[in-house]
Structure 1
Amino acid sequence: MPTADLRAGYTAARAAGATRHRDIAAQLGVSEAELLAAHIGEYAPGAPVQGLQVQRLRGPWPTLLGALEGAGPLMALTRNASCVHEKTGVYSGASASGPAGREMGLVLGPDIDLRVFYSRWAHGFAVAEDNGRGLQQSLQFFDAQGQAVHKVFVRPGTQWGVWAALVITHRCELQQPGLQVLPALAPAAETPDALIDTTAFREGWAGLRDTHDFFGLLRRHGVSRTQALRLADPAYAQRVEASAARDVLQTAAREALPLMVFVGNPGMIQIHTGAVKRVEVMGPWLNVLDPGFNLHLREDHIVQAWAVRKPTADGLVSALELFDAQGETIAMFFGERKPGRPELRAWRCLVDSLVDPLGAGAAAWAPQAGECAAC
C-alpha cells in the first residue's frame, strides 16, 4: 500500500477511535512496522509534535539497548499476539555476547529483566506521537516480518537529554518513508510422535539439572514444546484448565505469593519477579494493573494450559505454561526463586492444586504433591 494511503488510513482510524498501532495496521492489511515507516519524516527531539512522527534508527542494537541505562526510568513492553507485559524501571546490567548481528543479550536490572535474541531484530524506530492525551515518546523494534519485538517508552523521571542524544546517535542517514518486510515465517512442521524416541526423551527430562537445559532437550529430540508436554512422563506434565491463569494470579494476589511472569516472542523474553496485587478481568482480558507492572492476557486465546515440573540441582521447579491455537507460548508462570534455592512451597502447592486428581495420569503427579496437604 502506498505510504500516502497508509498515512490517510491511520488518520481515519484515529478519528474513528482506534488507539493501538497494531490494530490499525491489521485493519489496513500491513504490519505494524510498515505503518510506522510510512510516517518517517522530519523528527526533532524536543520540538513540537503533531500527529505521528517517526525516525528510522540503526544499530548496533546491543549498543543502543546498553545506552538506555543512562536515561533512567523507562517502561519496557514486550508482547506476542495474546499477551502484553509492561515493566517500569532502569535498563541496568545490559550485556551481549556472540557474533555481530546474532548476539544473545541480557538486561538484569532489579525491575527490567530481559533475555534478548538480536538475530531477530531487523528494524528500529524512534516514535513521537501526540495522541490527544499528551506526547508519547518511544523506541520500537521489529523483526524482518514487521512484527513488534520490543518497545521502550519515556516515563516521568526519564533523563530527556540522554534519551535525545541516544536517538541522534542511532539516527539513520536515510529517512525515506516506506519499508520492505519479509513474508511471515511458515510454522515448523512437527515431527510425528511415532518417530520420537519417547523413552530417551523422558529419560533426558528426568535427568535435567537446570531449567535452561530444557531447550536443548527439545532440540536434541526434535520436538515442539507442546509435543514435549504431550509426550512427557505424567509425573512432569499435566494438562489443566485454561482458567488456570486466572486462578494463579488471583490466588497469588490474595496470598501475597511472589511470582515470576515470563512473556516473549522470538526476539525477546521479558520477566516480572515479585508480587501481583490488583488483578482485574475486563472482557476477554485478564489484567494485572500494579504500579510498575502491567500484564494484559487474552484468556480466550488460551487453547492449552499445562502444569509442568522440571528437575534441577535445587529440586523440582514447577510452572504453569500457556499456549495458543498454533502451539505458540503465550506466557509462563513460576514461583519467585533464585539459583541455589528451592522453589517456594506455597507456589508448588498452588500449581499442584491446578491438576485434576481424577484426571488421566494424575496418580503419577500426586506422590510428589503430598507435601502440600498442609498448605
Structure 2
Amino acid sequence: MHALSPQEGIAVLKAKYEALATAEPKLRARDRAARLQVSEAELVAAQCGVEAIALNGTPQEIFIQLQNLGEVMVLSRNDWCVHERHGRYEEIHANGPVGMVLGKDIDLRMFFSYWKHAFAVNENGRRSVQFFDGAGEAIHKVYLTEKSDAAAFEAFVSQLAATGIPAIHAEAYPSDTTRGDCQDKTALREHWLSLTDTHGFFPMLGKHKVTRLAALKAAGDDLAQRVAIDATEIMLHRAATEKMPIMCFVSNRGMVQIHSGPVEKLLRTGPWFNILDPMFNLHLNTSAISECWVVNKPTSDGWVTSLEVYAAGGELIVQFFGVRKPGEPELPAWRKLMCDLCNTPLAG
C-alpha cells in the first residue's frame, strides 16, 4: 500500500472533516481537530470548512497591522476556557519577543516566540485572522464584526498574502518537567512574603523550581487557600449583583487576554458557565475544574488577592482579580469577597 501524497492526505482529511461536521455541526474547531487527531492549524491549512490564506511576515509584523481593522472581536482560549472581547487594538507594543496591547478595551500580553503560523480565514462569510503555535494550537483569533473596517481587512490580506499554503508539521511541545512539590517551604514562604509586586510571582516560581500549584500548596493557608469547587460561580454572581468591576485573565502558551470591568449576564449551558455581556464573553467548562484557590500576595500597594482555577493536570484555567491599577490599593469589596470564600483568615 503506497503512502498518500500530500494532496491525497488533504483529500482524506477533508472527507473526514465533512463527515464529522455533518454529524456534529455544533462542535468547535478545536474539538473537531481533537476528534480527527490533527491540529487545528492543519485543518485550516487544508481548507477544511474554511477558505484560508497564509500570511507572510514575522508575527510582530503581522500583529501590528491589526490596529487598522477598527472594532473587532478578539478570542483567546485554552482547553477549558474561552475569552472573547470586543474593541480596537490600541497602544500596541510588538517589537520584541514579548508584546503588549494596552488599549481601553483590548488588553493582551503576547509571547511571540511561540507564534508560528498566521492565516486570513473566511468561514461561510465570517472573516478572521488566526494565529497558531508550533503544535498547531490556536493562540489568538481576530474576528471582523459589522463595526470593523472591511476595506482595511482586504488591504491587510492583499499586503501579507503568501503564495500557496506551506505544509504544516505540528509537533507537540515537551511536557513541563518542573517539580510538583516544594523542597524548601520556609524559603518559598519567606520569598513570597518579601514580594512588592504581583509580577514578582512568576520569577519566584522559577527561583524555587516549583509549579504554580505546588507553590500554593506549600505557602500556608494565610497566603494561598483552597476553596470550594464552585467558588468561581459564587464570585461571579456576587460581582454581578454588587456591580463590582473585576479582571479576568485567560492564557495559553503564547497569549494572556484580559478583561477589566463589570459583568452582568451570567448563564449556565450544560457544563459551561458563561458571561454573555455585549463587550465581553467568557465560556468556562466547569466540569474540568479540579481545584480553586484564593491567592494572597503582598505588594507595595497593600495585599492583592486573586481567585485561581486549575484543571486536573495542574494547569491554570483562569484567574480573577478585583479591578486595580498600579499605585492603587485593592478594592475593599473584592477583598471581602475573597475572604468570605475562605475558611481561615488571610494574611494582612
CA RMSD of aligned residues (A): 1.5
Q: Deviation at 1:71? A: 1.0
Secondary structure, counterpart of 1:165 in structure 2: helix
The answer (yes or no) to whether the contact 2:178–2:210 under 8 Å persists in 1 is no
Mapping for residues 1-375 of structure 1, pairs under 5 Å: 2-19=9-26, 20-39=28-47, 52-98=50-96, 103-130=97-124, 135-176=125-166, 178-190=167-179, 192-193=181-182, 196-356=183-343, 362-363=344-345, 365=346, 368=348
Q: Which residue pairs with 1:43 in the alignment?
A: none
SS at match of 2:136: coil
Paired AA for residue 179 in structure 2: E
After superposition, give the CA deviation of every residue in 1:88-147 in whole Å (9 maximum; x if it has no partner).
Answer: 00011100243xxxx1000111110000000111111111011xxxx2111111110111
| Residue-by-residue CA offset, 1:185-204 (whole Å, 9 max, x unaligned) | 323242543xx222121111
1:42-97: CA deviation from partner (whole Å, max 9, x where unpaired): xxxxxxxxx52111122321222221112100111000000000000001110024
Are the counterparts in 1 of residues 75 and 140 from structure 2 also a CA contact under 8 Å? yes
Deviation at 1:297, TM superposition (A): 0.2
Runs of 4 or more off by more than 6 Å in structure 1? none
Instruction: State the shift of 1:14 in Å.
Output: 2.2
* 2:327 aligned partner, one-letter code: G
TM-score, scaled to structure 1: 0.88
Structure 1 portions without partners, runs of 5+:
41-50, 357-361, 369-375
In structure 2, what is the Cα distance between the partners aligned to 1:350 and 1:137? 41
Larger strand fraction of residues: 2
Give the distance between the partners of 1:218 and 1:242, measured in 2 at CA.
Answer: 24
Is the Cα–Cα contact under 8 Å of residues 305 and 323 in structure 1 kept in the other structure? yes
TM-score of the aligned structures, taking structure 2 as reference length: 0.94
In the alignment, the residues of structure 1 paired with residue 312 and residue 57 of structure 2 have an alpha-carbon distance, to the nearest angstrom, of: 34
Counting aligned pairs with the same residue, the percent is 44
C-alpha separation between the residues in 1 aligned to 2:128 and 2:24?
21
Unaligned runs of 5+ in 2: none
Instruction: Give, as a single letter, the amino acid of the residue that structure 2 aligns with 1:25.
Output: A
Q: Does the 8 Å contact 1:18/1:24 carry over to 2?
A: no
Deviation track 1:188-240 (CA, whole Å, cap 9, x = no partner) reads 242543xx222121111001111011111110110100000000132110000
Which amino acid in the other structure matches residue 312 of structure 1?
A: T
Contact 2:131 2:141 in 1 (8 A): yes
1:16 Cα deviation (Å)? Answer: 2.1
Task: For 2:187, give the aligned amino acid.
Answer: A
1:23 is displaced (CA, Å) by 1.6
Alpha carbons 2:115, 2:254 under 8 Å: kept: yes
8 A Cα contact 1:263 1:330, kept in partner = yes
**Distance in 1 between the 2:202 and 2:173 partners?**
23
